[in-house]
Amino acid sequence: MSKAPSKGICILGATGTIGVNTLDVIARHPNKYHVAALSANNNVEKLEQQCLKFSPQYAVMVNDSAAEKLERNLRNAGNGTTVLSGKKALEEISILPEVDYVMAAIVGAAGLLPNLAAAKAGKRVMLANKESLVMSGKLFMDAIRDNRDKGAELLPIDSEHNAIFQSMPALVDGEQQKAGVTKILLTASGGPFRTRDINTLCDVTPEQAVAHPNWVMGQKISVDSATMMNKGLEVIEACWLFDVPEDQIQVVIHPQSMIHSMVSYTDGSVLAQLGNPDMRTPIAYSLAYPDRVDSGVEQLNIFDVARLDFERPDFERYRCLQLAYDAHRIGGNATIALNAANEIAVDAFLKKQISFTSIPLVIEKALEQAPSGTPDQIDDILAQDLASRHVSNDYLAAL
């Protein structure tokens, strides 16, 4: 019996945490997967190292000058990778015939267009970019469904959504009620300030906010975890992935981060997926699905864990989480505004232009200005995203 050909992988956001972990899993299975394309924003040194090790056919740098430097360095090293530049090139590598799976790991709204292109091209989209569904949920899910005859698939990479998917893998198409699903329990660590005096949150520094107690992540997502906006975005993402209303999703603070999420059924059963907090587990699951392969993650020793704690979230402490629930209830333009304003506010906080507690204030202002309704065209989605960014920047300038 002949061996199945290895799958070609495109990694959008290769130099970030998800990208690095994806390459780690791929390297463990050279006969199953090969790297077809990599992308980064402007981290020339790391992308150069990755190209030299994995020899992708294409590499993209969004920054033009960074692309020129990468191409020069690779040529000098005798590497034959073709270097492209610009945002449009991200879409080009997402739809390459030699690409089977796309790891969608670009942070923020910048990942939307290449992710959508991959879906329309019939790729397996391994979605680590929750903003794509927050901004364009119906449009994105329709693109997956409409192109299934080409092979389009959507597998979630966030540990929580991947855990839900593992607990009801056949139910992504809205069959939850028939299967007796009553509730999704979306776990959250609570971030680094779960027990901090709420009256001192205004004094939080960027350095403190990015020091997550359980996960190693980039700066933006670490701040989102501290405000629990990350969980709010995940609530919205779960609504689209699993076709449930927001009131059917309950956020549960679980400080140990060993249970990654749970699904409650009408017969009283609750199915949970457990494991050490390591992103290589959901990455490996999504690469190999429906099979399983070694991820390099240490097996969970339940005796070392010893205890599992659960708390209800305090919506006064985590104002951003409440805003996310509210935005999804209102509709599409509101979730676009939520995401855009949050990106602007987090960036301002990391630059020490605003306080930690000002982040939800920026978001509230953008939500106030967002029109009602849900856009169904990509141009309208991008226009609302831009408008909400302008509102947020104007608010910041007035502070």
Range of the domain at 382: 331-399
Measured CA to CA, the distance from residue 186 to residue 253 in angstroms comes to 8
Instruction: Say if 292 falls within a structural domain.
Output: no
Q: Do 227 and 368 have their domain in common?
A: no
Check whether residue 17 and residue 83 sit in a common domain: yes
pLDDT for 126 equals 97
Stated as kind and residue range, the H or E segment containing 36 is: strand 33-40
Q: Is residue 195 part of a domain?
A: yes
Report how far residue 211's alpha carbon sits from residue 136's, in angstroms, rounded to the nearest whole number.
30
Which among 156, 171, 186 is the end of a domain?
156
Tell whether 241 and 150 lie within a shared domain: no
Tell me, yes or no, whether 163 and 148 share the same domain. no
DSSP 300: P
For 382, the token pair is 């991008």
* Number of domains the chain contains: 3
Cα–Cα distance for residue pair 399/397, rounded to 1 Å: 6
Global pTM reads 0.90
For the domain that residue 395 is a member of, what is the CATH number?
Answer: 1.10.1740.10
**Distance between CA atoms of 37 and 237, rounded to whole angstroms?**
26
Q: In what order do the strands lie in the sheet with 249-253?
A: 249-253, 181-188, 259-265, 270-274
Longest dimension (CA), the chain: 69
Judge whether 385 lies within some domain. yes
Domain end, chosen from 156, 184, 211, is at: 156
Tally of CB atoms within 10 A around 154: 26
Residues 150 and 235 in one domain: no
Whether 89 and 142 share a structural domain: yes
Residue 123: closest CA among 166, 84, 91: 91
Report the CATH number at residue 80.
3.40.50.720
Query: What pLDDT is attached to residue 178?
Result: 61
Could you tell me if residue 286 is inside a domain? no
Cβ-based neighbours of 232, under 8 Å, separated by 6 or more: 320, 321, 322, 323, 324, 325, 338
Answer yes or no: do 147 and 196 share one domain: no
Does residue 25 lie in a domain region?
A: yes
Helices (H) then strands (E): counts for the chain: 17, 11
Residue 201 maps to a domain: yes
Question: Can the peptide bond before residue 5 be classed as cis, meaning omega within 30 degrees of 0?
Answer: no
For residue 1, the model assigns a pLDDT of 47
Q: Are residues 341 and 382 in the same domain?
A: yes
Does residue 42 fall inside a structural domain?
yes
Residues 163 and 247 in one domain: yes
- The answer to whether residues 177 and 123 belong to one domain is no
> Domain end: 127, 156, 185, which one?
156
Tell me how far apart the alpha carbons of residues 280 and 24 are, in angstroms, rounded to a whole number. Answer: 8
Residues 356 and 307 in one domain: no
- Output the pLDDT for position 376: 86
Quick one: 26 and 140 in the same domain? yes
Residue 319 counted as domain residue: no
pLDDT in tens, the chain (399 residues): 456 789 999 999 999 999 999 999 999 999 999 999 999 998 999 999 999 999 999 999 999 999 999 999 999 999 999 999 999 999 999 999 999 999 999 987 788 999 999 999 999 999 998 888 988 999 999 999 999 999 999 999 999 999 999 998 665 455 666 678 899 999 999 999 999 999 999 999 999 999 877 666 778 889 999 999 999 999 999 999 998 899 999 999 999 999 999 999 999 999 999 999 999 999 999 999 999 999 999 999 999 988 999 999 999 999 999 999 999 999 889 999 999 999 999 999 999 999 999 999 999 999 999 999 999 899 999 999 999 999 999 999 988
